[in-house]
Amino acid sequence: MKRIGIISKTGRTEPVELLRALLPWLKERGAEVFVDLEVAPSLGIEGHPRSQIPELSEMVIVLGGDGTMLSVARLVCEKGVPILGVNLGGLGFITEVHVAGIYEAMEEIFSGKCVVEERLMLSASVQRHSEQIAEYTVLNDVVINKGALARIIDLETYVDKNYVTIFRADGLIVSTPTGSTAYCLSAGGPILFPTTDCIAITPICPHTLTNRPIVLPDNVLVEISLKSGAEDVFLTLDGQVGFSLRQDDVVVITKSPFKTRLIIPHERDFFQVLRTKLGWGERAARKGRKNHRTGE
């Protein structure tokens, strides 16, 4: 992979500082680099529109957080270009490489040691009066939720044309395995292993406490009809794109024909990621350190 696109989180100085050293390093190794227009002027080099970078590149380096990764995943998915995420953000579930480790990661890529992991994506469309009026592709989740002042909403849900229930809730999350550690997790949904072939439907603050998350195969057809007359209800895609819904609109969700291809460092362990990001075992670790100090 010698044709490398670089897309950075906007409004941050860290990508520019990192690229001042990284770009000469890549070029010394024979790489041709395409930097997005938002960052290139600060480096005094030619930039390229983000929309053109997938066509120019064999891989894309993303400098930012998970939000930047999600936007790039939607941008490149039709071209099948693999992505390496470098974490300049906070939690960083899918931007797994730290800034200090980028050179080691690139050495692994050039030597063929990294693997490319394919992640499920979803297609979501909105039907109004039996006419499709919007369509999206997402990596994390499709969310229907009410605004701050709207009352609880009714969401009639079908799976493969089979009636499930009417969820009376603040909203509903349909999540991929990648998105299971995002909004889905915050709403009490399950953590799904990232390469499993399934999706999760998770109600947000359901009126009936027995409404629990449901895990389904990834090849099902999910249809969710808004039965409430509330005006303040939105469809949100990956937490970044929004669409206002009306009563009787139907959101149709299926497995996307595209996949996000993530470049994974060969020593990556998903359960270590969970322990690190979610703080699993911290209490036991603190107790162990305390006992070591006290000799107990």
Residues carrying an active site annotation = 66
Let me know: does 58 contact 4? Beta carbons within 8 Å.
yes
Rounded Cα distance between 204 and 160, Å, is 22
User: Packing angle between helix 14-28 and helix 102-110, nearest 10 degrees?
Assistant: 30
Distances (CA, A) of 74 to 68, 218, 238: 10, 19, 10
Backbone angles phi, psi at 29, to 5 degrees: -100, 15
Extended beta strands in 37-161, E state: 47-48, 59-64, 83-87, 97-98, 115-128, 131-138, 141-146, 153-159
Helix ranges restricted to H, 117-269: 183-186
